[in-house]
Amino acid sequence: MTGLSAHHRAHYQVRVAEVISETASACSLVLAIPPELAGVFSYRPGQFLTVRVPHGRGGSVARCYSLSSSPHAGEPPAITVKRTDGGHASNWIADNIRPGDLLDVLPPAGTFCPQSLAGDFLLFAGGSGITPVISILKSALAAGRGRIVLVYANRDEHAVIFASQLRGLAGDRLLVVHWLDSLHGEPTAAALAALARPYAGAEAFVCGPDPYLAVVRQALGQLGVPAKSVHIERFVSLAENPFQASEPTGGTAATLEVCLDGETRQVPWPAGTRMLDVLIDSGLDPPFSCREGICGACACQLTGGEVEMAHNEVLEAEDLADGYILACQALALTPEVGITYS
């Protein structure tokens, strides 16, 4: 299981039970998971599914769509898809998928998930960024006892996904604050900081387009919310198609010294093979989730040598300066490389 297997993962065909129109440009696909796949598709609030969409003659593209359902609220799994201008996959799904159709999907992945649902939550969503956030919100309502505040930004009232669901859920434990650009202009850090100030002690989860994420980050920074309490999910495109096998390319052959679970081992690292696959092929059990460089679950720290990463959408400049890398994206640049999982 070397290079060829690195991106050719087991996928499943799942039937679409229902298609729900949420807004003029967004729909939810409710999935009928057969009992024998219930374990494979068990998920945590905030995770996503990777879906294969046909493209060209016999080809395909892969896209990640967050689960908008809650595993704690007795709902069948559902993903929500918003049309994007010129977006092949989202428009293909909206135009073509009907109840009874089969989707090719990978099992749930992603790390935009609360460690515990017990505490208070400060949630920020922009546009279709509500999708993983509403899963966290419904889960915290169902399985926790804390207070939840959602600040949800949209262009105008017609763009608000899950408007009626949110109205029905609002109450003693849930406060929903809608920010509409058509009424308030684009959100500023100062305005969001003022809204969030009373709730600055809560765990923050933020999802939406990059400009919105930047403003929310600034607002939380002004409030002194510690970085470890802020969880951010970005919209990113996959650099590679995990449904299609890829030939190994790049990098150099190396010896990899790995410190994992208190043990240190040296393993051969063939040229062109991603570090994560080397570890798995060696019988080790490293942490990983998406395999696409977008979730951070496989991050480890470099203790020697150099690597290059094919793709990185999650590690910040300070993480890279501290030597953190993504095992699923790393290729060796030096004959000896050392890493540790602390």
Residues paired with 152 in a beta bridge: 125, 178
Max mean pLDDT among 1-15, 56-70, 176-190 falls in 176-190
Neighbours of 222 (CB within 10 A): 16
Residues paired with 331 in a beta bridge: 308
Residue 126 has pLDDT above 50, yes or no: yes
Rounded (10°) angle between helices 210-222 and 189-196: 60
CATH number 1.10.1040.10 is the correct assignment for the domain at 11-105: no
What global pTM score does this model have?
A: 0.80
Q: Could you tell me the pLDDT band of residue 10, with boundaries at 50, 70 and 90?
A: low
CATH topology of domain 254-340: Ubiquitin-like (UB roll) (3.10.20)
Amino acid occupying residue 274: R
Domain boundary assignment for the chain: 11-105, 121-234, 254-340
Record the tokens describing residue 247, joined without a space: 């030939």
Q: Is 183 exposed, middle or buried (0-12, 13-18, 19+ CB in 10 A)?
A: exposed
pLDDT for res 247: 54
Residues contacting 33, CB < 8 A, separation 6+: 14, 41, 76, 77
Q: Could you tell me the pLDDT band of residue 1, with boundaries at 50, 70 and 90?
A: very low
Neighbours of 172 (CB within 10 A): 6
CATH number 3.20.20.80 is the correct assignment for the domain at 121-234: no
pLDDT digits (tens, 9 = 90+) for 235-290: 766 666 777 665 556 788 999 999 998 999 999 999 888 999 999 888 898 988 77
Neighbours of 282 (CB within 10 A): 15
CA distance 193 to 204: 13
